[in-house]
Every structure is written in structure tokens, then in C-alpha cells.
Structure 1
Amino acid sequence: MRSIRISTPAAGLLAAAALLLTFGGPAPQSSLGAGTVSAASAEADTAQTGSPYVSTHLYFGTGRHDGKPPITDEEFDKFIADVVTPRFPSGLTLQEGRGQWRDKDGDINRERSYELTVMYPVREARARNADIEYIRRLYCTMWELESVGREDVRSQVDF
């Protein structure tokens, strides 16, 4: 591509036009197809849909220390049934994964892991926090583990 130097007041406008022609500009809403909404209207719709909730994600590892065997699927399922479900009977989501983390000795551990997601209304956050911390402490105590990761995300939820 050839470079052209223009030294008129319109140089900035021409440069912007050249960039738009080269890389494309924003598409008009009408050309995006049916069902497409703008960011502003999506934000407005989201603000009006659902109720304020907290989505808590817990990250459970299954590897153990000192040569002990990993936590089995059956052991983990029993923990969910006996400990988690009674505290969150309305529902939960469980995903299996592979994770890694650095332990207190600086070693990198790779292990099968689970991500558990529970959602609850913001107004229940204080009471649910006690349940979540109980779950985390018990899992670590039962299996002699260092930690269960936790992430809390505020969201708008509708069922």
C-alpha cells in the first residue's frame, strides 16, 4: 500500500475515512440481523430481568498428600449428597475438570478437580456464607487438604 501525505485541514478526516475503508467501520443495527440488540438495550434489559443473586464457585481438588490415594468419585459424590445438598437443596451445578495449584511447599500439583456452583439471593448472603465456609473447612479436614478455592460473583438471575 502506498502512503500519501496530505497537509490540509481535512487530513485527519481523510485519514479516518481511509482507516474505515481499510478495516471497516461499525455496522448499522439494521444490517446485523434479526434478534441482535445494542449494548445499551442489552444492559437495560439485564437490569430489569431477574433478581440480584450471588453465584459462588467452589474449586475442590482430589489429590492428597503423603502418598495417600486421590479422593474417588464415589467419595466426592457422597460428600456432595451428605454435606452440600442439605445446605443447598434448591439446586447446584457440578463440573469435573483438571486443575493445578502450588502447595505450601512450592510444589505444583496437577489433579482431577470439581467446580461446584451454587446461587442464592443477595439477601441470603450472610447465612449462605456460613454454609459455604462449613463446606470448605469440612472438606479440607476430612481429606487433610490445604484449601478449597472460592469465588463469589454478583449477578442477575431468573429461573
Structure 2
Amino acid sequence: MLHIRISTPAAAALVAIALLFATGGPVSEVAYGTAAPAAATARNAEQSTEGRGSPYISTHLYFGTGRHGGKPPIPEEEFMKFVADVVTPRFPSGLTLQEGRGQWRDKDGDINRERSYELTVLYPVEEARTRDRDIEYIRHLYCTTYELESVGRADVKAQASF
């Protein structure tokens, strides 16, 4: 038979971890009876943001800069000119642009790694139809101008205030 001796601090740590997993909350909350049920916590978070901001949509566009057929990547200056000439007139209230490194699988199954940009625009939900046309125009023009397959798009519901 194997005997293992656990020191008092180690035993206390194991009990604390067991309580954390068993109750779903920090041990101090469990020990002192202050742990709130998950539904109540979610309700409190909802109530704390009620009335803060208005319903918006946050659209994220993912622009790659690598091109096919041995053509050089789209230079930063050229991309920034596209943003200034095409995107800004359609979203003059503001946008956010972040540079990154991306990868994706093309139609031939090849994985492409390239410098990329994530462009984020926020707009009120009631402008969604008009903004959708603008966004699709931007995506289509970028693809046809630079002979690319796609510009990624993700739309997220948001509460925003400025």
C-alpha cells in the first residue's frame, strides 16, 4: 500500500481548488457565502450596461496585401491611398485600422501568409442596409483592383457611445 503525506498548506490548497471547481466561484465567495448564481451575475452585468450607448453594428474587414502570379504585395502607401479615396468618403465619421499578419487558404488549397489590415467601422443598426452597400462596394473594388479572391468580413452587434 502506498501512503502519501500532504502538508497542511498543500491540503488547504487542494480543498480550495476543489471548492472552486465544485461551486463555480472563487473560494472567498464560497467560504463567506457571497457567491452569486451565474444567472444573477449575467443579469447584473446586463443591467449595468442598460442605457449605455445605442445599438450599433461593428463591421470588421480583413484586407490581404499578397497578390498572385508573382506580382509584388500591395505597398502600404497604395493601401492607405485606397482607404483615403474609397473607404473614408463612405465612413467619414471614423474607422479603425490595424496592421497584422494573416494567413488563409486560397481556392487552389494553398496557404498564403501575408501582411494584412483589419479595418473596423461602427454604424447605427438603422443604417445597416445603406452601410451594407458601401461595405460590399469596398470589398468588390479592392478585389477587382488588385486581382484578389476576397476581403473577409465579420459583423458584430454592439452597444456604442461616443
Using structure 1 for the length normalisation, give the TM-score. Answer: 0.79
Please give the per-residue CA displacement for 1:105-152, whole angstroms capped at 9, x wherever unaligned.
Answer: 000000000000000000000000000000000000000000000000
Q: Does 1:89 align with 2:88?
A: no
Instruction: Name the SS for the 1:48 alignment partner.
Output: coil
1:124 equivalent in alignment to 2:127: yes
8 A contact 1:63–1:112 mirrored in 2: yes
**Separation (CA, whole Å) in 2 of partners of 1:155 and 1:69:** 37
Alpha-carbon distance between aligned partners in 1 of 2:159 and 2:21, rounded to the nearest angstrom: 40
Q: Secondary structure at the match of 1:91?
A: coil
Give the Cα separation in 2 of the matches to 1:18 and 1:100.
39
Pick the aligned partner of 1:108 from 107, 111, 122. 111
Paired letter, 1:27: E
Which ranges of structure 2 fall in alignment gaps of 5 or more residues?
A: 6-14, 35-40
Please give the alpha-carbon distance, in whole angstroms, between the structure 2 residues aligned to 1:81 and 1:123: 25
TM-score by length of 2: 0.78
Matched with 1:77 is 80
Identity rate of aligned residues, in percent?
71
**How far, CA to CA, are the matches of 2:98 and 2:51 in structure 1?**
29
Q: Which secondary structure does the structure 1 equivalent of 2:29 belong to?
A: coil
- Partner amino acid for 1:109? N
Q: Deviations over 1:77-96 (max 9, x none)?
A: 00000000000000000000
Preserved contact between residue 16 and residue 27 of structure 2 (Cα < 8 Å): no
Equivalence for 1:144: 147
Matches of 1:21 and 1:152, distance apart in 2:
36
Displacement after TM superposition at 1:45 (Å): 2.0
Alignment partner, residue 63 of structure 1: 66
The 10-residue stretch of structure 1 (40-49 or 128-137) with the greater mean CA deviation from structure 2: 40-49
Q: Aligned pair in 2 of structure 1 residues 66, 27: CA closer, same or farther (>3 Å)? A: same
What are structure 1's unaligned runs of at least 5 residues?
3-15, 32-37
Contact 1:47–1:156 at 8 Å: present in 2 too? no
The alpha-carbon deviation at position 17 of structure 1 amounts to 9.7
Q: CA deviation at 1:25?
A: 2.9
What amino acid is the match of 2:60? H
After superposition, the Cα gap between the structure-2 partners of 1:21 and 1:119, relative to the gap in structure 1 and judged at 3 Å, is closer
- Give, in whole Å, the separation in 2 of the partners of 1:81 and 1:105: 32
Distance change >3 Å, CA 122–CA 20, structure 1 → 2: same
Q: Which amino acid aligns with 2:148?
A: L
Q: Residues 64 and 18 from structure 1, CA distance in 2 versus in 1: closer, same or farther, beyond 3 angstroms? A: closer
